[in-house]
Structure 1
Amino acid sequence: MSSQKKIRVILLKNRTVPIDKYESECESKSFEPVFIPLIKHTHITQDFRNVLNSAPNYLNSINYIIITSQRTVESLNESIIPKLTKEQKATLFSKTVYTVGPATAAFIKRSGFTNVKGGEEAGNGSILADIIINDLTVGVETQSSNELLFLVGEIRRDIIPKKLSSKGIKVREVVTYKTEDLDDNFTRFVHAAKPNDDDEKFSNWVVVFSPQGTKGITQYLYTENHSSDSKKLRIASIGPTTKKYLDSNNITSDVVSPKPDPRSLLDAIELYEHHS
């Protein structure tokens, strides 16, 4: 790669506030981050409140919580935790929380939880389920518990509940947020991805985090992916699940992040550029 060439990274995600680790990591490498939100999130608090109201001692009866999304943490921080009593907050923060990926683990710790497991060691839901099974059936965490509380989005995969249920571990799912596609996400993406006079100076990357909200964008990426134009977009998948989704749409990922975290992703992009 020419030393004059800059790297623009189009991130198909909402910017996390107040700090987005992808933005920070891009800036540390002198990459230009561009955020294209594809979906909007709406917090749902009633399901959680219903659980507490139906069984006032419910928080005392569980030992473990599963959280796999930063959106769930945002919902807790902004809409659920502020409405809990001091005693309920203390009880909630004392629970062991299982999560996927280092970024979400760090977010959970900043919220006040002190015992967070998975994280760096759990790159996806299937691995996290294996960690939980090991802890609760053969590991040091073995103890009686009626069920695990799984805080989820309205749209979610069922890998974790199925795997845990197969081992006789009960899981109670409570919805904490819902997502909707933004009507103008495709237009905003094309505007960001469309070549302009300055693009001779840039190597343009698109990072796909999830299938949600990408229908029109995947069609655009397919066209770019099969173009002979040397300035076509490079495509990065945040992990094997996203790569599989792109593969199913005949889109080749130039890079697959070894781990679902900013440094692994951007190191992989940088390595690709170094050898191109």
Structure 2
Amino acid sequence: MDDLEHSLDSLSIDQSPIYLLKTRSSPSDAYESHFTNTSSGKQVPIFVPVLEHVFRDDALRTLRRHAERFAFAGGSPATKRQIATNNPAKKYGGIIFTSQRAVDAFAIVVSKLDPSKLEAMFDKEMPLYVVGPATATGVKSLGLPCAVLGEETGSGEVLAKFILEHQRTLARNVTHLEGRRLPLLFLVGEQRRDIIAKSLSAETLPLSERTQVIELIVYETGEMATFEESFSMLLQQAAKQKVKEQWVVVFSPQGCEAMLTSLKWLDESTGRFSQAKRNASQCKGWIGVATIGPTTRDYLKGAFAFNPDVCAESPTPVGVSEGINRFSNGTP
């Protein structure tokens, strides 16, 4: 909590905190960079982690064995010097990342590999598919020889379409081995949607284009026990400092109840949103709520009858900030 409190302590009278209900991405966070650089210092991003992630050691060991046994290699010149050209050990035609936590898990694996052998372990022709700029930045920082693709996508649906189109452009010796199409490895948490796997193996696709997606659960997620306390303390401090405007950016359904409880916007008898309670709290300073996309918005509406002020048109820093700016300016 010390870092969070310090962030509020340093606020000037014309600055507004933007609480990002997420863990700060490493090595840099796109939301932090965007709000810091585009608001002329008037909006101060403050991270309030909601989720606690635990990496699965068994999965990380599996990934390390895959790499060391050339499951991701077989076609690059560096690999040909060490193993047979048609490498029967090669298992995958690419890797899919759709979360920063999956990138973090893979980074642990890469850090334990021999740096001098990375070019032999990973074909430069093998694509690493990512969803959005934050995930792309994390994967690029790993220093692998592979191409990182999909940075311009912002959702699983869009990434799935991108992968289908890109796979059609690849040479057969990249996508196939011994006459069969190589599957893609998807690094996931235990809570995930299956839109990518279904899209890439849909029966509506020609048999020659269907790609199996093998999911490997590399992390588990739960709501952080200290989130409600940390968030409540920030709100209390903001009230003492008479902060005029605050925004809360919600990234997932997890933590929504704790957020609304901290804001004191829930009716105790029904557990549903109370507009009267929100109105009563506004005299201490206005607080707006923005969601990263429709999934979280719909969850808030369905579970708590709360309609957030902003739903980003795209799940990106630009999408969130544009939504907040339109709301603040009174434009649709």
Query: For this structure pair, what is the TM-score category when the shorter chain's length is used for normalisation?
Result: 0.7 to 0.9
1:132 aligns with 2:160: no
Q: Deviation string for 1:32-58 (max 9, x for gaps)?
A: 222111122222343243356479342
1:204 aligns with 2:216: no
CA offset at residue 132 of structure 1? 1.5
* TM-score (normalised: structure 1): 0.85
CA offset at residue 219 of structure 1? 4.8
**Structure 1 residue runs of 4 or more that deviate by more than 6 Å after TM superposition:** none
Give, in whole Å, the separation in 2 of the partners of 1:34 and 1:103: 17
Per the alignment, in what secondary structure is the counterpart of residue 169 of structure 2?
Answer: coil
**Identical aligned residues as a percent:** 31
Give, in whole Å, the separation in 1 of the partners of 2:274 and 2:96: 37
Structure 1 residues 140 and 253, CA gap change in structure 2 (3 angstroms): same
CA offset at residue 148 of structure 1? 0.4
Give, in whole Å, the separation in 2 of the partners of 1:149 and 1:88: 21
Equivalence for 2:58: 46
Equivalence for 2:29: 20
Per the alignment, in what secondary structure is the counterpart of residue 19 of structure 1?
Answer: coil
Q: How many residues end up aligned between the 2 structures?
A: 268
Per the alignment, in what secondary structure is the counterpart of residue 111 of structure 1?
Answer: coil
RMSD, matched Cα = 2.6
Structure 1: segments with no counterpart, 5+ residues = none
Q: 2:224 aligns with which of 182, 194, 202?
A: 182
Structure 1 residues 51 and 6, CA gap change in structure 2 (3 angstroms): closer
Equivalence for 1:216: 258
Q: Highest relative contact order (Cα 8 Å, sep 6+), 1 or 2?
A: 1
| Structure 1 residues 1-276: aligned runs within 5 Å | 5-28=14-37, 29=39, 30=41, 31-50=43-62, 53=65, 56-60=69-73, 61=90, 62-77=92-107, 79-86=108-115, 89-90=118-119, 91-92=121-122, 94=124, 95-113=126-144, 114-120=146-152, 122-136=153-167, 139-141=168-170, 143=172, 144=176, 145-166=181-202, 167=205, 168-194=210-236, 196-199=239-242, 201-219=243-261, 223=266, 226=275, 227-229=278-280, 230=282, 231-249=285-303, 250-275=305-330
Structure 2: segments with no counterpart, 5+ residues = 1-12, 74-89, 267-272
Give, in whole Å, the separation in 1 of the partners of 2:133 and 2:27: 17
Per the alignment, in what secondary structure is the counterpart of residue 135 of structure 1?
Answer: helix
Bigger Rg, structure 1 or 2: 2
Q: Deviation string for 1:5-62 (max 9, x for gaps)?
A: 5322111011223422222222221212221111222223432433564793422222
Counterpart contact for 2:228–2:262, Cα < 8 Å: no
* TM-score (normalised: structure 2): 0.72
Counterpart contact for 1:12–1:206, Cα < 8 Å: yes
Range 189-198 or range 64-73, more displaced: 189-198
Give, in whole Å, the separation in 2 of the partners of 1:163 and 1:239: 21
Counterpart contact for 2:290–2:309, Cα < 8 Å: yes
